[in-house]
Amino acid sequence: MNKAMLLDLVSRSAKDDTIVEQFSTLIDEVEARLNERVRLRELMKQTSLTVNTDGTASLPSDFARVRFVTKANDPNSVLKERSWQDVLAGNDGFALGNGQILVHPAQNVDLHYWAKVPSLNSNDTNAVLDRAMMIYHSGIMAAWAALKGDVQTAQAMWSAFDNLITQLNANEDWALHGQQAII
C-alpha cells in the first residue's frame, strides 16, 4: 500500500472528489493522533543526549513519546519521570517539555523513545500504512466527516481508528515478547 493507493481508496469511500483537496490536512490530523498512541518496533529508537550544565538537552526532531531514560552508558539505571517543577526543585529524575528534557542531577543520558510516524505528506509509505492501512482509512474518514460537520460518523470512525490502533499495539506487544502476531 502506498499514498496514491490510499488516496484512491479514500476518494472512492467518501464518494466526494473534494476530499482530494483536503488530503494533506487530513493526513496531518491522523498522524498527530497516531504519534500519541502507536507503538511499532520500527519506531523504537535510542539516542545519547549531551545534557548542558543547566540540566537541559534538546529532544530529537522525530521524538513522539518517551519509553524510558537511563544514565549514559548504564542501561540498568533508569531515571524516574517527574514534573518539570519537581526536577527544577532538585528531585532526581527527568522531565519533558517544549522539545527539551530536563535532568537532575545534570548528566548525559540515553533516551529510549517512540519516534514519530514518517509523514505520508513527505513519504510514499510508512510502517503503519504498510501493516494496517485501515487505520489510516478510518482516521481520514473520521477527520473528513468532522470537517463536513457529520459528528455521528466522525465519532464512529474515530472509535474504529482507536480500536485498530489498540489491536495493532497488542500485536506488537505479542511480537516484542517472542510471540507471533495474531493479525
- Helix (H), strand (E), coil (C) string for the chain: CCHHHHHHHHHHHHCCHHHHHHHHHHHHHHHHHHHHHCCCHHHEEEEEECCCCCCEEECCCCEEEEEEEEECCEEEEECCECCHHHHHCCCCEEEEECCEEEEECCCCEEEEEEECCCCCCCCCCCHHHHHCHHHHHHHHHHHHHHHCCCHHHHHHHHHHHHHHHHHHHHHHHHHHCCCCCCC
Note whether 68 and 94 are same-domain residues.
Answer: yes
- pLDDT tens digits along 35-56: 999 999 999 999 999 999 999 9
Instruction: Provide the residue range defining the domain that includes 163.
Output: 3-38+117-174
Do 106 and 77 share a structural domain?
Answer: yes
Sheet of 100-104, strand order: 56-58, 100-104, 93-97
User: Residue 166 pairs with which residues in a beta bridge?
Assistant: none
Does 106 share its domain with 70?
A: yes
Q: How confident is the model at residue 173 (pLDDT cuts 50, 70, 90)?
A: confident
Number of domains in the chain: 2
Residue 180 has pLDDT above 60, yes or no: no
pTM: 0.86
Single-letter amino acid code for the residue at 162: D
Runs of H (alpha helix) within 38-150: 84-88, 127-131, 133-147
pLDDT tens digits, residue range 154-169?
Answer: 999 999 999 999 999 9
Indicate whether 67 and 107 sit together in one domain. Answer: yes
Asked if residue 72 is part of any domain, the answer here is yes
> Predicted confidence band at 97 (pLDDT cuts at 50, 70, 90)?
very high
The answer to whether position 181 is within a domain reads no
In a domain, 93, yes or no: yes
pLDDT digits (tens, 9 = 90+) for 124-149: 999 999 999 999 999 999 999 999 99
Residue 183 reports pLDDT greater than 80: no
